[in-house]
Amino acid sequence: MDEEETGVMAKMSFEDAATRYGAEPGGGAPTKVKITFIDSQGQARAVEGEVGSTVMETARRNDIPEIAAECGGACACATCHVYVDENWTEKAGKPSQMEEDMLDFAFDVKPNSRLCCQITVRPELEGLVVTTPAQQG
């Protein structure tokens, strides 16, 4: 899929490409945002997340510890549990009913708990900070 996308991109001007990916012409909306994962010991790791992917996928691509993601993003296992930093809870949004149900299988659930396979990376999440719990599974 990636190759195909690149092939299409090569034939498009920058402005075409920007429009295609939802940015204002000439505006250059970011396709990547910075996401910081803080582990249960307090160590922070800042990585780049691709707009359109999920926070869980970003974690896996960057070998972030304490994200098990056993089911691979099907919202079926509750092992990608994170606490969203309070500055971001509103922008990250509230869990859907399905996610809320699945959070019943996570440990130490708090009001800012999310399953990060259900958070899609968007430009407005630039700078997102999430903390991982000590135990997922």
Partner 1 sequence: MNQLKEAAIETDVVIVGAGPAGLFSVFELGLLDIKAHVIDILPRAGGQCSELYPEKPIYDIPGLPVCTGQELTDNLLKQIEPFRPTFHFNEMVETLVSLGTPEKPEFRLSTDAGKIFHAKVVFVAAGGGSFQPKKPPIPKIDSYEGKSVFYAVRRMEDFRDKNVVIVGGGDSALDWTLNLQPVAKSLTLVHRRDQFRAAPHSVSAMQELVATGKINFRLGQITTVEGEDGELISATLKGNDGVEEKIACERLMPFFGLTMKLGPVADWGLQLNENLIPVDTEKFESSHPGIFAVGDINAYPGKLKLILSGFHEAALASQKAHRYVYPDKKLLFQYTTSSTNLQKKLGVS
**Member of 5, 24, 50, 70 binding partner 1 (CB under 8 A):** 70
**76 contributes a contact to partner 1 by CB under 8 A:** yes
Beta strand spans in 2-109 (E): 32-38, 44-50, 81-84
Q: Could you give the 3-state DSSP secondary structure of residue 107? A: coil
**79 contributes a contact to partner 1 by CB under 8 A:** yes
| Calpha distance 73→78 (Å, rounded) | 10
| C-beta separation of 129 from 87 below 8 A | yes
**89 contributes a contact to partner 1 by CB under 8 A:** no
**39 contributes a contact to partner 1 by CB under 8 A:** no
**107 contributes a contact to partner 1 by CB under 8 A:** yes
In the 8-state DSSP scheme, what is residue 71? T
Binding site for partner 1 (CB under 8 A): 68, 70-72, 74, 76-79, 100-101, 103-109, 134-135, 137
